[in-house]
Amino acid sequence: MSTEPRSTLTNDSLFERARRVIPGGVNSPVRAFRAVGGTPRFIQRAEGAYMIDAEGRRYIDYIGSWGPMILGHGHPAVVEAVQKAVLEGFSFGAPTEREIELAEEILKLVPTMDQVRLVSSGTEACMSALRLARGATGRPKIIKFEGCYHGHADSLLVKAGSGLATFGHPTSAGVPPEVVQHTLVLEYNHIGQIEEAFARDGSQIACVVIEPIAGNMNFVRASVPFMKRVRELCDQHGALLVFDEVMTGFRVGLGSAQGIYAKALPGFAPDISVFGKVIGGGMPLAAFGARRAVMEQLAPLGPVYQAGTLSGNPVATACGLATLKEIQKPGFFEDLAARTRTLLDGLLGAARDNGVPMVGDCEGGMFGFFFTKAGEGLPQNYPTVMATDKERFNTFFHGLLDRGVYLAPALYEAGFVSAAHTARDIDDTVAAARIVLR
């Protein structure tokens, strides 16, 4: 902590200091405000639906630590569970009963899995899930979709190739082309492309990995016909379907996104599921799981190696377990979904009243919106997201930030509502938006 008096701390001074010792002044790129311009807000503390920055300014928080804070910040039951766990020990490097309890709770809520492996981050979980898929099938190739983010493992840092169903090209320095030579990057919601990919390479495809509701190109959901076809193609060619629910897991509903698709497609289930964020309640924790036959390919039972010193950390599991218990209370998701819908409808209404073309969508406690051209519908893939009005979003973002409303500092990120947001918070947000849109 700085020895500088709190009253003289500013976001600008902290950012300048951070840039001297941390690349770009941040430990995760989007926090740097590069997409929207300006100075990042350095948060000192948070409570309920609010964050307070270094200058003492309070914001209504719609980032929620990028999804985990579904109960809001500092929920009493979660704080109590974490404090108790801390007193028992930070980390043991040995199994604990709480790991079993958390695994049992996740499996109870997600019946498509028989077993889960706990890890420390969504990136680690996705990377391990893909290794498991390749090991279980004995195949090298994977399919992902442009605009979906599955963490920063080398084989996933790819962009679409130059033609339909072509192999991807690295999007990060330090990733050799040969590392991504087995990664095919297709257009989200494009049935023809994935049919072509399987027709050409079906016997070599280990898995299709997808965000069922993409939260890293704002909020774009896979259409039911598209998801149905993806499932059919995986079954037909012996590939595994990997659902990346790091963001959507226990955030869009108690059954997660796969529960939503199962209602539209009776019997629908992914083969491997990846979870994070909400299951850790804000602590570093993630998981991946599948049916027993697939999970038994993992070490120490099988040949697919995966390990982690802090996997199943006792403090993180306490935080996650307390969070999962709270969100199972009667009416929790009904109330959260209604609150989120009220917010989105308010924003869209404010835009409409001011003649500003805006579209949006939401599910559970997750939402997104886009500034479009008049008459355009919801974007369905990355190219249509990129065609929306970025400059108008940036102006809107800063206008709300100046009025105490904190959205994600990039057009390409979804927003999150928590159980701590009140009707007054929603009203204040919509009122601020109405002023900015005017």
Nearest to 240 by CA among 155, 135, 156: 135
Helices (H), 150-308: 191-201, 224-237, 256-264, 292-295
Q: Which residues pair with 415 in a beta bridge?
A: 367
The pair of structure tokens assigned to 406 is: 């904190």
Q: How far apart are CA 234 and CA 331, in angstroms?
A: 36
The pair of structure tokens assigned to 236 is: 């037909």
Q: How far apart are CA 406 and CA 24, in angstroms?
A: 21
Determine whether 59 is an active site residue. no
**Segments of 122-275 assigned E as strands:** 141-145, 158-159, 169-170, 183-186, 205-210, 213-214, 220-221, 240-245, 272-275
Q: How far apart are CA 206 and CA 143, in angstroms?
A: 8
Sign of CA dihedral 289, 292, 293, 296: positive
- Which one from 61, 144, 261, 277 is the annotated catalytic residue? 277
Asked whether 278 and 250 are in contact (CB, 8 A), the reply is yes
Determine whether 244 is an active site residue. yes
**Segments of 78-123 assigned E as strands:** 115-119
- Which one from 149, 188, 261, 382 is the annotated catalytic residue? 149
* Phi, psi dihedral angles at 405 (to 5 degrees): -120, 120
Asked whether 324 and 250 are in contact (CB, 8 A), the reply is yes
Determine whether 277 is an active site residue. yes
C-alpha radius of gyration, the chain, whole number: 22
The pair of structure tokens assigned to 416 is: 């999150």
Q: What letter does residue 100 receive in the DSSP assignment?
A: H
- What H or E segment, with its residue span, contains residue 319? helix 314-327
* Phi, psi dihedral angles at 156 (to 5 degrees): -105, -5
The pair of structure tokens assigned to 153 is: 């493992």
The pair of structure tokens assigned to 72 is: 């809001």
- Which one from 53, 61, 201, 244 is the annotated catalytic residue? 244
Nearest to 303 by CA among 311, 294, 312, 290: 294
Nearest to 93 by CA among 306, 313, 320, 288: 313
- What H or E segment, with its residue span, contains residue 83? helix 76-88
* Phi, psi dihedral angles at 407 (to 5 degrees): -95, 165
CB atoms within 10 A of CB 354: 14
Active site members? 149, 244, 277
